[in-house]
Chain A
């Protein structure tokens, strides 16, 4: 069955870089795209960016200067790196399977707190 699982540190210092990994199973990264979506506590989700099935990437313009998404198809993993973190980057980060713009499967999410 389709599964996605996020992993990474739960606490990041202000101005530091966040690195997250999404490990997928049940589908191929060369057939489906994977998005990163984050959600501050009590607020709506925010789409961050996408790794297309063909290896291309797309980013939310609000985050583009700080964000990088990459993948390792041999390990079925998609990576997120975002630098210059601030306190308003605190929230739950999800990776999702993207099918023509809709997110049909979501990982359980990883809570990231930006604090010194």
Chain B
């Protein structure tokens, strides 16, 4: 299965720019998606196909990458962005998720 590796945690101050990385063990083309999960809630889709903003998601969120290296950028970060962020690939079978990056606000 395709393994997606994410840094476990990040801490930033409100107003700063943050990049969250996701590295795939093999190419996933651009079939990479990003989700936000707040404590006690289900994940919600932020970015699909590497760089497309899901409807209703603030333009502070953006995504980039292709092949094996992807990033989710939040600029500027707001207090409400405290959450765990997951990447997911759907190029290889089965679809797989990363272990998540927990974003904390200083």
Contacts and interface: CB of A to CB of B under 8 A. Distances in A.
> A and B bound?
yes
Interface of A: 43-47, 58, 60-62, 94, 100-109
Helix, strand, loop or mixed for chain A's interface?
loop
Nearest to B48: A102
Interface residues of B, number: 23
* Shortest 5 CB-CB contacts between residues of A and residues of B: A101-B90, A106-B42, A60-B94, A47-B95, A102-B33
Q: Main SS of the interface on chain B? A: loop
B27 interface: no
B97 A102 contact: no
A72 to B, nearest CB: 23
B42 A94 contact: yes
Contact of A103 (B45, B49, B100): B45
Contacts of B86: 44-45
Interface string B63-106: 00000000000000000000000101011011111111000000
Contacts of B25: none
Contacts of B14: none
Interface of B: 1, 31, 33, 35, 42-45, 48-49, 54, 86, 88, 90-91, 93-100
B45 A102 contact: yes
A6 B43 CA distance: 15
Contact of B42 (A46, A58, A101, A107): A107
B42 A109 contact: yes
24 contacts: A43-B99, A44-B98, A44-B99, A45-B43, A45-B97, A46-B97, A47-B95, A47-B97, A60-B94, A62-B1, A62-B94, A94-B42, A100-B90, A101-B31, A101-B90, A102-B45, A102-B48, A102-B88, A103-B33, A103-B43, A104-B48, A106-B44, A107-B42, A109-B42
A74 to B, nearest CB: 26
